[in-house]
Amino acid sequence: MRPEGLNLDLRTLEVLGKMRAMMIGLAVAVCGAAVVGCLDFDEQRVRLEHDQENDRLILTVYYSGLYADEEEGDAEAQLESSINDHTVAFFGNWPWAWSIDEIRADLRAPGEEAEEALPPEVREKLLTCFERVEVLDVGFYTDGAGRLCAAQVVVIEQATDTIRLANEVFNQVMLSDFQEEGIRDAWDELVLEAMRRGHIWLRLEGQSLIFSIPMPEEYLREGRGDFIQDLFETAGADEQRIRSLRDLFASPVLVWHEHDMLQVKCGFEGAPSLLVLRPREGEYEPNLLEHVEAQYGLEADALLVRYMIYPDTPAETEAERGAKLMASRLEKADVVRILVRVLRESPSEELWARLQEVPMEPGMLPPELQSAPEGLSDARRLELWEQWLRQQAGVSTGDETDEGAGEGN
């Protein structure tokens, strides 16, 4: 039986910490050590879709609230490097940032140290996996809160076989690690036995991804009550934490334990899903906005609206190809944001018609628009939509000050 909900405890988090350390080890083996970066983002959403007809994974990655941690170094240089190397980050910066072009180059022509770290067979499998990854940087924009944001589309071809190869690589690398480090506890013994049987760490079921982590049942019994109590007592005094919890638990993520396995299912089997990988932390500062606008422009919305209205328009550049894929996969709030922004600059009957056609559930429309009153000017309609967008971004629309929410406006 699979218990509904997200049931993680302190021991589980400790074990997941071990998994994180293993991933860092694999990353270092692939592309060497990396320097902790100073470029960060306040929030992240990822739309997960398995295009089963073409067997490809399509990940639309939203980085909301890009900013520079000025204590760490040169964020502008890291941003340029991230664009040039097609870096994809999940959850946060290093070790969760993967420079796809750099990894491919290192796998094709490894240095002496890297050559020793991975056997040729493993390196060849990894190279095959990364050769099937295409990263399309759509560009930059600002959201309803005025925060600097960026979007990418990541396409993984031959998804089923790529995941099979990734499982083989992970087993081979971890088996080598166990040979060097030895068995430390019961969890290690369980993992080692699972890998010897060719354990499947990641699999596709429909449009969902399922992670399977060997874990003794007793690990899950420790600390759950203390963890839940601490989690919600802390959240009760912190509005920002409550908002983060709401976003996190709204994601289609299911966790259960059976047969000494922790199963983490991300997304729905029958439809694409939007996952909140990093809930809003409220740390955004607009210290990169001016640089990005001058150096790269805020062109993502203009590209997206082009392919929203004219989906058959040819796409030649990387940004155009990414925008064409992304335009048909936008969430409702993003469709509204783009149309409202373009309508502010270039009123168009076609754009107005598209805005009115955005399907909304009851209660989602701004109150004055729900009953479609006669006599509202276009300017007032745009104002109402902009208020709604700020609300969606967690920004107050009244006269009161929403601390930490209005940065970048």
Q: pLDDT per residue over 75-114, tens digit each?
A: 898 899 999 999 999 888 766 788 999 989 988 887 766 6
What was the pLDDT predicted at 267?
95
Q: Which residue has the tokens 């290093």?
A: 94
Residue 13 has pLDDT above 60, yes or no: no
- Residue 45, Cβ density class (10 Å: 0-12 exposed, 13-18 middle, ≥19 buried): buried
Q: pLDDT per residue over 244-301, tens digit each?
A: 677 767 789 888 888 888 899 999 999 999 999 888 888 899 999 999 999 999 999 9
What was the pLDDT predicted at 37?
61
Segment 143-155 shows an average pLDDT of 95
Residue 408 has pLDDT above 50, yes or no: no
pLDDT category at 212 given cuts 50, 70, 90 is very high
- Residue 28, Cβ density class (10 Å: 0-12 exposed, 13-18 middle, ≥19 buried): middle
The answer to whether 49 touches 207, Cβ cutoff 8 Å, is yes
Residue 216, C-beta contacts closer than 8 angstroms, at least 6 positions apart? 186, 187, 190, 260
Could you give the angle at the alpha carbon of 350 between the alpha carbons of 347 and 356, nearest 5°?
95
Segment 215-239 shows an average pLDDT of 62
pLDDT category at 35 given cuts 50, 70, 90 is very low
Residue 50, C-beta contacts closer than 8 angstroms, at least 6 positions apart? 56, 57, 58, 159, 204, 206, 207, 208
Higher-scoring residue by pLDDT: 176, 332:
332
Segment 330-350 shows an average pLDDT of 92
Average pLDDT, the chain: 81
Range from 176-180, 198-202, 365-369 carrying the lowest mean pLDDT: 176-180
pTM (2 decimals)?
A: 0.83
Measuring CA to CA, how many Å separate 297 from each of 10, 138, 140, 149?
A: 44, 12, 7, 12
Range from 16-25, 66-75, 85-94, 144-153 carrying the lowest mean pLDDT: 16-25
Q: pLDDT per residue over 39-84, tens digit each?
A: 899 999 999 999 999 999 999 999 999 999 876 568 898 899 999 9
